[in-house]
Structure 1
């Protein structure tokens, strides 16, 4: 069994995820980092190689690591582990941290859930141990399950952030600061700590307020893309809640 304190981990990549993984492991393992294009400085005796690159680059990087005896794992939520074995990797795995990463935003790594997969129990056990060096929640799951988790995270995070962007742009047209929405955004996020998102839903579509919805659609007439998004989401919310279940908020 590998000694966790002496593990050699090589992170291949230079993006936001790679940056944070280097920070997360910096006191727990012997670390090296290599650029994905050249692999310059990549040792051939690391215990684990973490491929942290865009999904369409994973197979190409993996094919250049197939001669290595160490574990080779990628960090993608959607790419199946089989991509690594198809590239010739001997001991493939996945270590997927479920979080939005920005280089300039610090994170509490202990709060980040990590989903791991290994080609055998030995690989999975090792990936679970190294993820547990900084994460308080490490779960084994299949590639199919991980992909569904990633889809849910896009809905919950990426789409939500885009809606904030649209709101910011709408307000900017009248020189209204986006900051006025921040207390509302914080309260909306805090509410799901106490109730489910379905229970927490409020707004005109939730209460089937067709007059307000029509007024909002009129206001977006000059922005067909925003109007389409507003109409689609309003219809989805209305369909989720039968009219006799509408709340008063």
Structure 2
């Protein structure tokens, strides 16, 4: 059994006093904002915040009551550095952050970046991936948010697991390969579904109807998959591939990309249910 498959019951979160560890956040976006506040409420010491954007760094730093900066050279020494930034700049910033205090634990929060990004660069590292959609203007409760942890060694596993357990009741170890697949699934279930809401809102706007009319439908669709599998909950003209309805609706769509999405989605629904 690998450490990433280790049952939660085998983890003794009292093994280390993780709340005594100081944390420095690299990034001040949606995930960093919510996660830093959750850890602060749990009793952790947030030592500082770095962001390339002064307004973002200052806003988060001030609300946390901690040091903030836009200069990597000004980072303070901390026990744990949490990199919560765009995937495209993670490796670049990591190479600079590790120069501040190489003995620290370095963690990223990305769903799609493997833990191997740390290999050969630092000795202690890990993943702290809260699987949820975050927006700065909307509060979320961390208690039921699944957090997935991966680590370089057992000591780091204990620290990260204890930290995750202090803010969430759903904490699991997960290796990078499965986390990548999980992230793909979350994009399909969240980001793609939300984009469909956007497309639907555009169609409503064309005839002067409020998007709010769709909310009971959206809510019921989400509730159903708590009791039925997504496959069992599927309804609509694509299930039986009703070409009369499908063609009539396609005739209402003027945008090429939206028409293609409708066609491919309908075909995917039908084929998935009849394979």
Q: Same fold (TM over 0.5)?
A: yes
Q: Which residue of 1 aligns with 2:67?
A: none
Would you say the 8 A contact 2:144–2:170 is kept in 1? yes
Deviation of residue 60 (structure 1)?
A: 1.6
Pair 1:195-2:202 in alignment: no
Pair 1:82-2:116 in alignment: yes
Deviation of residue 36 (structure 1)?
A: 4.0
Aligned residues: 240
Would you say the 8 A contact 1:12–1:39 is kept in 2? no
Q: Which residue of 2 aligns with 1:158?
A: 191
Listed as ranges, the gaps of 5+ residues in structure 2 are: 1-14, 53-70
- Mapping of residues 50-69 of structure 1, within 5 Å: 50-67=82-99, 68-69=102-103
Cα distance, 1:40–1:108 mapped onto 2, change above 3 Å: farther
Listed as ranges, the gaps of 5+ residues in structure 1 are: 244-249
* 1:164 aligned counterpart, secondary structure: helix
Structure 1 residues 195-220: Cα deviation after superposition (integer angstroms, max 9, x where no partner): 11111000001122221111111111
Would you say the 8 A contact 1:66–1:90 is kept in 2? no
- Among candidates 228, 232, 247, match of residue 260 of structure 2: 228
Q: Which residue of 1 aligns with 2:35?
A: 21
Cα distance, 1:40–1:29 mapped onto 2, change above 3 Å: farther
Q: Which residue of 2 aligns with 1:34?
A: 49
Rounded to whole Å, the distance in 2 between the matches of 1:158 and 1:49 is 28
Would you say the 8 A contact 1:48–1:73 is kept in 2? yes
Deviation of residue 12 (structure 1)?
A: 1.3
Would you say the 8 A contact 2:241–2:266 is kept in 1? no
Rounded to whole Å, the distance in 1 between the matches of 2:135 and 2:98 is 30
TM-score (norm 1): 0.92
Deviation of residue 185 (structure 1)?
A: 0.2
Larger fraction in helix? 2
TM-score (norm 2): 0.83
Rounded to whole Å, the distance in 2 between the matches of 1:40 and 1:25 is 25
Pair 1:43-2:76 in alignment: yes
* 1:147 aligned counterpart, secondary structure: helix
Q: Which has the higher contact order (CA 8 A, sep 6+)?
A: 2
- Alignment RMSD (CA, Å): 1.5
Deviation of residue 190 (structure 1)?
A: 0.7
Rounded to whole Å, the distance in 1 between the matches of 2:144 and 2:129 is 14
- Among candidates 131, 140, 148, match of residue 173 of structure 2: 140
Would you say the 8 A contact 1:7–1:30 is kept in 2? yes
Rounded to whole Å, the distance in 1 between the matches of 2:119 and 2:241 is 51
Structure 1 residues 137-165: Cα deviation after superposition (integer angstroms, max 9, x where no partner): 11111111111000000000000000000
Structure 1 residues 58-114: Cα deviation after superposition (integer angstroms, max 9, x where no partner): 11221123342121000000011111225x122121101100000010101111101
Rounded to whole Å, the distance in 1 between the matches of 2:207 and 2:217 is 19
